[in-house]
Amino acid sequence: MSFVESNLPCDDCGSSDARAIDDGGWSTCFGCGSKRPPNDREGRVVPMRAEKSHTGAYNASEGIIYRALTNRKINLRTAEVYGVGFKGDDLVFPFGNNIAAKVRVKGKKEFRIDGDWKGASTLFGQERFSSGQKMVMVVEGEIDALSAHQMMGYKTPVVSVRNGAQSALKDCKTNYDFLDSFDDVLFCFDNDFAGLEAQAKCAELFSHKAKCMKHANGMKDANDYLQENRTSDFVSMFWKAERWTPDGIVAGASLYDAVMTPLEKADCDYPYAGLNKLTYGIRKAELVTITAGSGLGKSQFVREIVWHILQNTKSNVGLMFLEESTRKTGLSLMSLAADKPLHLPDTPSTQAEKDAAFKATLGTDRVFMFDHFGSSDVDNIINRVRYLVKVVGCDYVFLDHISIVVSAQSNGDERKAIDEIMTKLRMLVQETGAALIVVSHLKRPDTKGHEEGAATSLSQLRGSGSIAQLSDMVLGLERNGQAEDETERNTTRVRVLKNRFSGMTGRGSSLLYSTKTGRMAEIDEEAL
């Protein structure tokens, strides 16, 4: 054999002078090793094979032409490793030892499936590598598999899930034995929400041997590195891949910046100093439960907090007072601004006073109320709270009270109903990051009733232990509504029953209700 023409360019590897043509018409590239038959300047034709698929109906390798995918910067050698090539203008990706293939039709983004796709249940590229090696890399697409294997110098087995992020977990479970045979399984999915979510689920499947590779800035997937000539960056990120850890597991050494950062103050404090001393105020992303016996001023206490927030923050507030109309809620809130009970019909007031009170409360465009007429089932309530936070932009939402919601859907099983609503409220707080303040009733004690000043406790929360368990803060209100002494009858003690933030519990504040102003003011009982 002799060469009759040399120093020709090679389209497969990009060399300008590495290809030569012999006297039989075959051309050889001494740079990448690719060979072409006579009169073929585009690729090497693979002869028809005698063997067929197990169905005898389809063989992905038949008639395929191997050539570089120049638009993706994938060379001929890489295409041959994976058996990827062209049939006419269609690009073929073989699966399951050639019994099926994904076929991309020229000019179209979607794929068609040829052959026995159900029978070809393996990952793309799985048949090209022997199991039981040190490491395998799993990517999200066929092009990324070719790109990663090429950039890693053909030393690392790379396979791809069959249909992107949506099929990733199923594909890894189906081919668990193959992946688990490797010492390490490294996941390198697309740098987007769907890819990262799927990557975490797949990594969890292999727990102790899983690694997750992060992408360099500006890179979405493996082929991006190849296209941008950043192979060295890809290799670097490969070696920096971290061992997967379950959500919630954090290395203490990684917390230096977090623990050295000064603690932030509460997003808003309570209206009362004694209560703030124990609680350090109200924080967003917390669930606060306020509880007391019937008729002991829970709603009034809540409205005092609402008014305080309006005065001291710029936040929007959502009000869901299920025992009263929006008119009653609005007037009661205006009463706090006016320092007189405007919601009572015999309270003297001028139009100017009412206008000023409206402007300071409802007229701020920061108060949003739920007109609950006709529906108070749990899913409706949850959806309305979500709307108040995500659409309206409320940082604080007040729900008074959950017992009404429970009554609407309990079907006789109050405990189960309370578990359901508290679980959904807890998840909603975590989802939205808003502060949610809910009101709950107490069970009637065996001895002295709460209406006679009985002390509150977590064990008295009505219906279920989930209220105490899922709340970040529980405040109990105590008042002897039957006392002969007027001051005693109108004095409410606020007891911190649970405090996840500081751990401090006990008596917080004593509040005296004024029938003249309609306000609850903090008092020093020892000074009386």
Residue 70 CB neighbours (<10 A) = 12
More confident residue, 80 or 254: 80
Domain range for 474 is 273-527
Q: What integer pLDDT is reported at residue 184 of this predicted model?
A: 94
More confident residue, 254 or 183: 183
Do 238 and 295 share a structural domain?
A: no
For residue 44, being part of any structural domain is answered with: no
When the pLDDT of each residue in the chain is averaged and rounded to a whole number, the result is 82
Q: What integer pLDDT is reported at residue 43 of this predicted model?
A: 41
What is the pLDDT averaged over residues 116-137?
93
What is the pLDDT averaged over residues 184-193?
93
Q: Are 468 and 461 in contact (CB under 8 A)?
A: yes
Closest listed residue to residue 193, CA positions, set 225, 165, 167: 165
Q: Are strands 394-400 and 435-441 parallel, antiparallel or unpaired?
A: parallel
Confidence of residue 341 (pLDDT cuts 50, 70, 90): confident
- Spatial CB neighbours of 355, under 8 Å, sequence gap ≥ 6: none
Confidence of residue 297 (pLDDT cuts 50, 70, 90): confident
DSSP 400: E
Q: What integer pLDDT is reported at residue 370 of this predicted model?
A: 83
Residue 303 sits in a domain whose CATH number is 3.40.50.300
Closest listed residue to residue 286, CA positions, set 159, 488, 179, 430: 430
Do 363 and 238 share a structural domain?
A: no
pLDDT digits (tens, 9 = 90+) for 248-282: 667 788 788 878 877 667 788 999 999 999 989 99
Q: What integer pLDDT is reported at residue 244 of this predicted model?
A: 86
Q: How many domains does the chain have?
A: 2
Closest listed residue to residue 416, CA positions, set 403, 405, 406: 406
- Mind spelling out the 3-state secondary structure of 55-67? CCCCCCCCCCEEC
Do 459 and 336 share a structural domain?
A: yes
Alpha helices of 215-297 — where are they, by DSSP H? 222-227, 231-239, 256-260, 273-279
Do 460 and 337 share a structural domain?
A: yes
Its pTM surpasses 0.75: no
Structure tokens at 149: 């294997």
Residue 207 sits in a domain whose CATH number is 3.40.1360.10
Confidence of residue 1 (pLDDT cuts 50, 70, 90): very low
Domain-ending residue, one of 248, 282, 308: 248
Using only C-alpha atoms, the chain has a radius of gyration, in whole angstroms, of 35
d(CA 179, CA 129): 11
Do 279 and 244 share a structural domain?
A: no
For residue 57, being part of any structural domain is answered with: no
The answer on pLDDT for 68 being more than 60 is yes
Do 277 and 225 share a structural domain?
A: no
For residue 319, being part of any structural domain is answered with: yes
d(CA 376, CA 72): 57
Do 349 and 224 share a structural domain?
A: no
Q: What integer pLDDT is reported at residue 25 of this predicted model?
A: 62
